[in-house]
């Protein structure tokens, strides 16, 4: 009885498979969806990096679909909130590894630690959900944010292409997804796992991007993603500092475009433009939430 009461509390419906995933899977049901629609993550660092790569696609899509200065400012507020929740997630991921270092490390008072990682993951998911809602509001669509909140990238692109004038936005999002796929594949290829598992993917990347070997498959990026997902099971991947900065670049660029949209508005004087990108980029305005997150990424472990 208590189990079904929990189902009703969390879902407002009798179906409980989502609740089973939320109670029994890392990252809850959203983590399961990300395993399905994106790629597997095992370690906490991998989970955090996967959220960052998701953000590099979702944030520009939300920012670029803002039709006016008011929508741009609202979405920028969502992006800045996500910078803060991602910062907490990375702090929790770096704080300790249960079973090894947690007992030996002293947590910093007032900051997330290794025992708040799942809650920090939920906060990121919540911010992603509201960013997804912004996409729907910006495009004036009568739809649910469910597919977007579960990080189904194909659903994001489908929504964007339903409005003809946003077709360039959808294509930009698709290009960002391709960059993210290559970024993930390279991270897996550089993984510290078994050489036999990582070597074929590394050789594939070398053939395609170093020697320019012709690719037989038309959907070569999709094939690369399949190979990287398969290899990720044995290669202990994580994003390097350079790869994380590459993810930040995509969001910074979208933030700069959103800033200009505000600055060019006829109501710009009534509401000063806000920023979510690289401090001093195009606008001279600092984005403290973004910079605080970047500082965490470049700080030494521990």
pLDDT in tens, 24-83: 788 887 888 888 878 888 889 999 999 999 999 999 989 998 888 889 999 999 999 999
- Say what angle helices 220-231 and 195-209 make with each other, to 10 degrees: 160
Question: With 50 as the cut, is the pLDDT of residue 6 above it?
Answer: no
Q: What's the average model confidence in pLDDT over 111-120?
A: 85
List the Cα angle 33/15/126 in 5-degree steps. 45
Residues 141-169: tens digit of each pLDDT: 665 555 555 556 566 556 555 656 677 88
Sort 180 into a burial class: Cβ within 10 Å, 0-12 / 13-18 / 19+: buried
Name the DSSP class of 116. G
Average pLDDT over residues 132-140: 80
Kindly tell me the burial class for residue 99, based on how many C-beta atoms sit within 10 Å of its own C-beta (0-12, 13-18, 19 or more): exposed
Q: What is the DSSP string of 47-76?
A: HHHHHHHHHHHHHHHHHHT--SHHHHHHHH
Cα angle 50, 30, 177; round to 5: 40
| For residues 205-226, average pLDDT | 84
Query: How far apart are alpha carbons 201 and 227 in whole angstroms?
Result: 7
For range 114-124, the mean pLDDT? 90
State the DSSP H helix or E strand holding residue 288, giving kind and residue range, or none if neither: helix 288-298
Helix (H, G, I), strand (E, B) or coil at 162: coil
Q: Is 136 exposed, middle or buried (0-12, 13-18, 19+ CB in 10 A)?
A: middle
Query: How far, rounded to the nearest angstrom, does the alpha carbon of residue 302 sit from its chain's CA centroid?
Result: 23
Mean pLDDT, rounded, of the chain = 80
Give residue-wise pLDDT tens across range 239-286. 999 999 999 999 999 999 999 888 887 665 667 888 998 876 656 566
pLDDT at position 5 is 43
């Amino acid at each position: 009885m208590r189990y079904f009461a929990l189902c009703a509390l969390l879902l407002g419906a009798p179906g409980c498979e989502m609740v089973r995933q939320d109670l029994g899977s890392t990252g809850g049901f959203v983590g399961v969806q990300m395993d399905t629609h994106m790629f597997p993550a095992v370690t906490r660092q991998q989970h955090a990096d996967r959220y960052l790569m998701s953000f590099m696609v979702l944030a520009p899509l939300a920012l670029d679909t803002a039709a006016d200065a008011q929508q741009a400012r609202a979405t920028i507020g969502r992006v800045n909130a996500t910078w803060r929740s991602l910062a907490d997630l990375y702090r929790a991921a770096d704080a300790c590894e249960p079973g090894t270092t947690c007992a030996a490390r002293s947590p910093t008072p007032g900051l997330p630690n290794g025992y708040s990682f799942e809650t920090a993951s939920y906060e990121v998911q919540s911010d992603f959900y509201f960013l997804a809602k912004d996409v729907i509001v910006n495009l004036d669509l009568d739809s649910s944010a469910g597919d977007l909140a579960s990080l189904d990238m194909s659903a994001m692109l489908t929504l964007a292409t339903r409005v003809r004038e946003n077709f360039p936005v959808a294509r930009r999002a698709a290009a960002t997804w391709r960059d993210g796929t290559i970024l993930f594949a390279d991270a897996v290829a550089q993984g510290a796992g078994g050489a036999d598992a990582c070597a074929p993917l590394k050789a594939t990347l070398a053939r395609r991007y170093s020697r320019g070997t012709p690719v037989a498959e038309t959907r070569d990026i999709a094939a690369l993603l399949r190979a990287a997902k398969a290899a990720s099971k044995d290669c202990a991947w994580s994003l390097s500092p350079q790869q994380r900065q590459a993810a930040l670049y995509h969001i910074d660029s979208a933030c700069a475009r959103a800033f200009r949209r505000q600055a060019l508005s006829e109501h710009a004087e009534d509401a000063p433009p806000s920023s979510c990108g690289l401090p001093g980029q195009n606008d001279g305005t600092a984005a403290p939430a973004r910079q605080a997150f970047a500082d965490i990424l470049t700080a030494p472990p521990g």
